[in-house]
């Protein structure tokens, strides 16, 4: 009942007394605690000041920009800058064997091109936005702009959960690439990096003015410190004497265990060309876990010394046994039915597999290598063709392909050449006496002249 007789002021003083006592001890501590109190107070004040200062400083400092690397694609005649930490992927590759897609923790980009004579820029953008599983959402924003003075369009998702965007830029002049005539370059990337990637985009001609700041030899794949499985592909661009790019692999004992060369697809002296080569280490004593050094360079025309060398450290994950298969390509102009069906074999080294016929067909889909093209080989198959299914039973090989096999194919000569390439490639194996070609399961009305 004591609280019933307390005045309000007395009740309040009872509640505040512990707090007042602490404050009094802080301001007027006993002599034996005075030093401790002041030390703790000083530390608290100092830490508060430092935290406030760091917060103010970090609010002023901008994040450091990502280091940049240059990607130049001679066949697409463009260059751009991308974050140097991004690494190339094994697909897609262009006709020079160069990677067109790079991926990193912060983002990615993929470079491509498309035809479209008489097609409006916005129609090309709309066709990209409606492709496949609607990569930019059901109702993306299509924004027309200019890039390097050329009409362009950005395709941007409206849904926050979607991060893929793209830009379509009109070439100043159409770019010829085999059977295709590209009129638009396409840059796909994450939304965050797309503006900077497109801003760095430059169109290049055959001259060296646009690329005078680059080294003579660049390696895109494999990246440094990669874990590689033999055989693996080396690809990049080079501006070298007689277009000859030399390669070698050196082990940890500084012994050269493999040598080779390839040819850059440069159209003129003093210009860049893409190159690619397969490094097959199956004949060496290297095993999984070994560290090696890939060296890519040109031999000096003056004294044969190794110059413009690029060194790529690698760790071997596996050294696979390989086998040789044949892929059949044309070699010379086809003016008559006899010429159209004349195809010649080139050898390819592939990892040993029971599905050897499928491996040979996959090599055929890749088309001639740079060196084979230099020797006059060509393919009549349109770009982008894929093998969907291959079944061999009772001497009959049933090969089913994607619809790209008949896209843009015209003329009886080319149709005969396509059939000859596929049939000859499959009939190299004794288990195949005849070949049935289909597209999405259809065997009738396909590959018509």
CA 341 remoteness from chain centre: 36
Q: Would you place residue 67 in the very low, low, confident or very high pLDDT band (cuts 50, 70, 90)?
A: confident
How confident is the prediction for the chain on average, in pLDDT? 83
DSSP one-letter code for 120: -
Pick from 394, 443, 384, 392: nearest CA to 419: 443
The pLDDT value given to residue 5: 45
Alpha carbon distance 391, 415 (integer Å): 22
pLDDT digits over 284-317, tens only? 889 999 999 999 999 998 898 999 999 999 999 9
Q: Would you place residue 359 in the very low, low, confident or very high pLDDT band (cuts 50, 70, 90)?
A: very high
Q: What angle do CA 22, 23, 26 make, to 5 degrees?
A: 90
The pLDDT value given to residue 225: 83
Alpha carbon distance 137, 122 (integer Å): 17
Least confident of 130-139, 271-280, 374-383, 390-399: 130-139
The pLDDT value given to residue 31: 53
* Percent of the chain residues topping a pLDDT of 90: 41
Alpha carbon distance 353, 125 (integer Å): 42
Average pLDDT estimate for 210-226: 85
Residue by residue, DSSP assigns 210-229 as GGTTS-SEEEEESPTTEEEE
Give me the half-sphere count of Cα atoms (radius 13 Å) on the Cβ side of residue 445.
0
| Residues counted in the chain | 449
C-alpha dihedral over 211, 216, 220, 226, to 10 degrees? Answer: -140
Contacting residues for 143 by C-beta, under 8 A, at least 6 apart: 153, 154, 156
Tokens of 33: 């605690």
The pLDDT value given to residue 2: 43
The pLDDT value given to residue 332: 60
- Helix, strand, coil fractions of the chain, as percent rounded to 5: 25, 35, 35
Residue 361, helix vs strand vs coil? helix
The pLDDT value given to residue 111: 94
Alpha carbon distance 325, 196 (integer Å): 44
Alpha carbon distance 73, 334 (integer Å): 30
Exposure b/e, 379-396, CB count within 10 A at least 16 = b: bbbbbebebeebebeeee
The pLDDT value given to residue 58: 56
What's the whole-model pTM score?
0.65
Pick from 423, 348, 352, 347: nearest CA to 381: 423
């Amino acid at each position: 009942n004591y609280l019933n007789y307390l005045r309000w002021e007395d009740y309040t003083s009872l509640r505040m007394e512990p707090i007042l006592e602490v404050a009094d001890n802080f301001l007027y501590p006993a002599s034996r605690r005075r030093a401790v109190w002041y030390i703790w107070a000083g530390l608290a004040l100092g830490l508060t000041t430092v935290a406030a200062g760091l917060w103010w400083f970090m609010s002023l400092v901008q994040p450091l920009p990502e280091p940049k690397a240059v990607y130049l694609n001679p066949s697409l005649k463009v260059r751009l800058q991308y974050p140097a930490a991004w690494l190339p992927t094994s697909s897609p590759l262009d006709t020079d064997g160069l990677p067109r897609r790079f991926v990193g923790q912060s983002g990615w980009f993929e470079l491509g091109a498309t035809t479209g004579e008489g097609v409006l820029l916005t129609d090309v953008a709309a066709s990209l936005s409606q492709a496949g599983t609607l990569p930019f959402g059901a109702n993306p924003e299509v924004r027309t702009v200019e890039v390097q003075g050329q009409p362009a369009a950005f395709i941007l998702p409206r849904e926050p959960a979607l991060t893929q965007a793209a830009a379509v830029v009109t070439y100043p002049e159409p770019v010829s690439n085999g059977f295709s005539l590209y009129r638009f370059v396409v840059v796909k990337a994450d939304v965050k990096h797309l503006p900077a990637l497109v801003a760095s985009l430059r169109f290049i001609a055959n001259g060296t003015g646009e690329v005078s700041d680059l080294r003579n030899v660049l390696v895109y794949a494999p990246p440094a410190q990669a874990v590689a499985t033999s055989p693996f592909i080396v690809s990049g661009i080079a501006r070298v004497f007689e277009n000859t790019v030399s390669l070698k692999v050196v082990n940890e004992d500084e012994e050269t265990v493999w040598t080779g060369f390839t040819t850059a697809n440069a159209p003129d002296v003093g210009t860049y060309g893409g190159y690619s080569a397969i490094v097959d280490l199956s004949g060496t004593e290297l095993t999984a876990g070994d560290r090696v050094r890939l060296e890519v360079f040109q031999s000096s025309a003056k004294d044969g010394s190794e110059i413009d060398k690029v060194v790529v450290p690698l760790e071997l994950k596996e050294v696979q046994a390989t086998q040789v298969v044949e892929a059949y390509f044309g070699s010379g102009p086809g003016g008559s039915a006899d010429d159209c069906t004349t195809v010649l074999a080139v050898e390819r080294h592939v990892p040993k597999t029971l599905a050897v016929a499928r491996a040979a067909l996959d090599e055929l889909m890749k088309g001639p290598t740079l060196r084979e093209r230099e020797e006059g080989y060509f393919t009549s198959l349109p770009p982008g063709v894929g093998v969907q299914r291959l079944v061999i039973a009772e001497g009959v090989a049933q090969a089913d392909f994607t619809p790209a096999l008949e896209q843009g194919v015209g003329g009886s000569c080319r149709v005969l050449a396509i059939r000859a390439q596929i049939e000859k490639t499959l009939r190299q194996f004794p288990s195949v006496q005849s070949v049935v070609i289909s597209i999405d399961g259809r065997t009738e009305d396909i590959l018509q002249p």
